[in-house]
């Protein structure tokens, strides 16, 4: 494709029913060279770019009558197109079109994919404080709907239209690639827009959106209820004790909890630890044990019935105010500590459930906590819940989808993905013919931790979609650990089992059972 085809005058506006296009800008980006590290290119390994040339296209449009303005960014390889399209999802409160998405786009265009992402109409905003409320008590439902679903189908249609106009033919295969918010977007596409993409990589998905945030608020609520904020060192010591107690349940000393772990945090109450939060020795308190036990169990109503799932015993629950932790804690040298709320959950409750930017979620009583959980699901599940188990249309159209989820995910409880997959199987016992779930013990949210990151996810999806090669396992490896471990993650419900001999850092020392 000649570079002269990449200009605002040479390209015509894409087609999208129900939209009015506002602008299209295009320019050539030449000789791009660089490296995208593992973990930054979602669901892939690392990627190297060497002299890549692509057409950089920015399209803006609106849905007339809704007062919105959405932007889609597309990068189309000029002389290295592999005939495929790869759309990139978002994270947090962003639909895409941010720095993280740009790294995945760099990896994709370097491999010859036409690639694109959308801002969902939210621009560069990282918080609904900028857009969630039109006025006190009045939720911006159009923008929420764009984030939740509408912009995703728009992106698919616009991307395919741009590809066909630029190359003179449509993509042979179209893929969606995301984790976290992007994982939720992938499931939404399969559920609501089954024709949008042929293959979907939906990792650590933020599905059950209207429910799982309550897990993030639960530990902070427990601390306020007990009028006690133990320092992070106590929670970390309890976590470390749980890992030591259950590490060898799978037969290998890898510092990872695999499977069931019946550890009682109260067995370490009174144990002396070196507390780096204060630079002194300290005993583990009963309050810290109580909070960890309830965090592992998950939020419950006043009557004791469950609201949602808890977190794994090897999850990092606490951190500083600048860490990604569901309980950010700051401590003073005098021994006092204060706890904040999980920001994503706090924003959801304030702006959408309570509809009040000044609401203090830290002041919720248990009854109010229960009421908020109920209202969240009642009012928004049909908009952004992303928990519909009926994937029959996606299956009928030949779609394929892979989800992986780390069992040490502190932001999104892994049991939510398991519960959803079981509901899919309950409707369609043969769902594994087109949709597979893989669990990675010890892996944190999307990436990191002691567990193995499945860098082969997207390539396995591509082979399954194009060649019919069914992914029984996903090749995975830990990143950043002192000792790299390799695993072949098993399709749920099977799990990797140690053979009883051999190098436990090698994938060959395990089998699926």
Buried (b) or exposed (e) across 414-447, using 16+ Cβ within 10 A? bbbbbbbbeebbeebeebbebbbbbbbbbbbbbb
β-sheet bridge partners, residue 489: 474
Degrees, nearest 5: CA angle 92-98-101: 85
Sheet strands (E) in 381-420: 400-406
**Which residues are paired to 436 by β-bridges?**
402
- d(CA 203, CA 182) in angstroms, rounded, equals 8
Residues carrying an active site annotation: 180, 409, 445
Name which of 174, 179, 231, 220 is nearest 202 in CA terms: 179
Q: Please tell me the number of Cα atoms within 13 Å of 55 on its side-chain side.
A: 28
Alpha-carbon distance of 153 to 120, in angstroms, equals 11
**Helix or strand run (H / E) with residue 257:** none
- Say if residue 190 is preceded by a cis peptide, omega within 30 of 0: no
Q: Which of 486, 451, 417, 488 is nearest to 316 (CA)?
A: 451
DSSP H or E stretch at residue 369? helix 366-380
Angle at CA 502, nearest 5°, toward 500 and 507?
95
C-alpha dihedral (412, 414, 416, 422), degrees to nearest 10? 160
């Amino acid at each position: 494709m000649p570079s002269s085809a990449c200009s605002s005058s040479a390209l015509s506006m894409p087609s999208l029913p129900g939209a009015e296009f506002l602008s299209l800008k295009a320019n050539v980006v030449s000789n791009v060279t660089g490296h995208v590290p593992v973990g930054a290119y979602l669901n892939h390994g690392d990627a190297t770019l060497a002299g890549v040339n692509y057409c950089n296209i920015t399209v803006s449009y609106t849905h007339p009558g809704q007062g919105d303005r959405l932007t889609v960014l597309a990068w189309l390889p000029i002389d290295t197109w592999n005939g495929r399209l790869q759309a990139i999802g978002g994270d947090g409160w962003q639909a895409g079109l941010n720095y993280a998405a740009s790294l995945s786009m760099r990896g994709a265009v370097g491999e010859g994919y036409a690639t694109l992402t959308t801002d969902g109409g939210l621009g560069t905003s990282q918080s609904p404080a900028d857009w969630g409320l039109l006025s006190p008590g009045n939720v911006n439902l159009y923008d929420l709907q764009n984030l939740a679903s509408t912009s995703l189908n728009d992106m698919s249609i616009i991307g395919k239209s741009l590809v066909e106009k630029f190359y003179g033919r449509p993509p042979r295969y179209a893929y969606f690639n995301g984790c976290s918010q992007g994982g939720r977007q992938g499931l939404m596409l399969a559920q609501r827009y089954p024709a949008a993409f042929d293959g979907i990589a939906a990792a650590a998905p933020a599905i059950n959106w209207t429910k799982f945030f309550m897990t993030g608020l639960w530990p902070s609520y427990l601390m306020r209820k007990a009028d006690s904020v133990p320092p992070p060192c106590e929670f970390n010591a309890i976590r470390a004790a749980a890992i030591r107690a259950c590490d060898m349940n799978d037969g290998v000393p890898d510092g990872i909890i695999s499977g069931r772990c019946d550890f009682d945090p109260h067995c370490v109450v009174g144990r002396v630890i070196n507390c780096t939060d204060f630079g002194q020795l300290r005993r583990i308190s009963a309050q810290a044990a109580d909070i960890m036990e309830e965090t592992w169990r998950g939020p419950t109503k006043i009557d004791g019935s469950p609201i949602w799932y808890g977190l794994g015993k090897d999850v990092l629950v606490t951190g500083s105010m600048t860490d990604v932790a569901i309980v950010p804690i700051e401590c003073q040298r005098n021994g006092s500590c204060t706890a904040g709320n999980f920001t994503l959950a706090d924003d959801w409750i304030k702006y959408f459930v309570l509809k009040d930017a000044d609401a203090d979620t830290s002041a919720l009583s248990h009854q109010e906590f229960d009421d908020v959980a109920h209202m969240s699901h009642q009012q928004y599940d049909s908009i952004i819940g992303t928990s519909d188990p009926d994937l029959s249309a996606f299956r009928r159209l030949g779609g394929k989808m892979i989800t992986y989820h780390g069992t040490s995910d502190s932001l999104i409880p892994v049991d939510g993905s398991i519960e959803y997959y079981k509901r899919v199987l309950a409707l369609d016992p043969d769902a594994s013919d087109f949709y597979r779930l893989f669990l990675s013990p010890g892996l944190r949210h999307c990436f990191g931790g002691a567990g193995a990151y499945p860098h082969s996810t997207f390539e396995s999806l591509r082979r399954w979609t194009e060649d019919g090669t069914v992914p029984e396992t996903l090749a995975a490896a830990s990143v950043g650990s002192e000792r790299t471990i390799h695993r072949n993650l098993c399709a749920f419900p099977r799990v990797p089992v140690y053979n009883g001999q051999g190098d436990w850092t090698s994938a060959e020392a395990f089998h699926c059972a």
